[in-house]
Structure 1
């Protein structure tokens, strides 16, 4: 079984065998480290150490940022560049729901491992917001590929893209509060 240590200054946790002369996070001498024991079993800890959900959420978040950003830029730039950005957005909009599903599934799995159930209030809210993000992500391909670019459709695309990005931000903020939480056992 691996031994872990925690920096008393910044709280950084790492394997004892990997500790060199200083804390890799804050730079204090290694004398600031103390033994650390996780309050969950090793199998659950190994799964959580993969960071499947925290890593997977970066994909839909990035796509949401680029879709909104490129859409706004398409109004500012010359027509040929604008058309290129809209083509990129069409492509991104196809991958958006796929990445949302991947992050959602990883989040459900992470929550089951971390909390052993999906009923805590924050998790319920995150699940509902994740479903809303998935619905919003499903709208994007239709809006970019099927709908013709009228003034009304552009406003609707902007609103949906803004809502999607807002949902990503709220979900990320909530998730960051839960990152260190784990049910013992």
Structure 2
């Protein structure tokens, strides 16, 4: 296995022989890198490197964001591609529960693989909000007539969007656990002249 190094400020891990003058992620000079040893087993790392959960999350969040935006667009600008946006809204609503379920399942797999437990508070919160967002996506799916209930669709989809933002913020906090890195900038020592009292 190749020697790894990690950027202390941002946590970026890379092979030492590929390190240039600056960190590819944050742009700080190469001197902020330190030796790094991967603590995750190769089998677990191989599963994590498939990035199933991030892919599922981005897909489901895209649908969750499109629904209220397109509904709002229909309410504010009814003559602007109304028919086309109605088709996209129905498509997003139809696929949203499946995408949310996929994101939830891959999140459980990712949590168990990465942390070997689903009991830590951040993961538990992520599971709770994950269930809530699945319920919201199912509510949108089960509502029949968009035209007659557009305001309700808009309200429920904004609740789903808020839940997606909360999930994203929790996930962001978990990234700092996965990729720790806090660089302490040391102040330069100021040389002082000692004055001799005469």
TM-score of Structure 1 vs Structure 2, range by shorter chain? 0.7 to 0.9
Question: Structure 2 matches for 1:35-46, cutoff 5 A?
Answer: 35-46=35-46
Kept after mapping to 1: 8 A contact 2:40/2:114: no
Q: Mark the runs of 5 or more structure 1 residues left unpaired by the alignment.
A: none
- Tell me, in whole angstroms, the C-alpha distance in 1 between the residues paired with 2:88 and 2:104: 24
Aligned to 1:171: 167
Once the two structures are TM-superposed, the CA of residue 157 in structure 1 deviates from its matched residue by 0.6
- Tell me, in whole angstroms, the C-alpha distance in 2 between the residues paired with 1:41 and 1:99: 29
Distance verdict in 2 for CA 1:36–1:88, change over 3 Å = same
Q: Mark the runs of 5 or more structure 2 residues left unpaired by the alignment.
A: 179-198
Q: What do the CA deviations read for 1:136-182 (whole angstroms, capped 9, x no partner)?
A: 11122333xx22522xx222111110111011000110011112435
Measured on the aligned residues, the alpha-carbon RMSD in Å equals: 2.0
The correspondence for 1:155, drawn from 151, 157, 162, is 151
Higher RCO, 1 vs 2 (CA within 8 Å, ≥6 residues apart): 2
- Tell me, in whole angstroms, the C-alpha distance in 2 between the residues paired with 1:148 and 1:62: 20
TM-score (norm 2): 0.80
Moved more, 117-126 or 84-93: 117-126
- Tell me, in whole angstroms, the C-alpha distance in 2 between the residues paired with 1:22 and 1:148: 52
Q: What do the CA deviations read for 1:81-133 (whole angstroms, capped 9, x no partner)?
A: 22321121001111111111111111000110122121222222211211111
- Tell me, in whole angstroms, the C-alpha distance in 1 between the residues paired with 2:56 and 2:84: 27
Structure 1 ranges of 4+ moved more than 6 A: none
TM-score (norm 1): 0.85
- Tell me, in whole angstroms, the C-alpha distance in 2 between the residues paired with 1:82 and 1:102: 30
Larger radius of gyration: 2
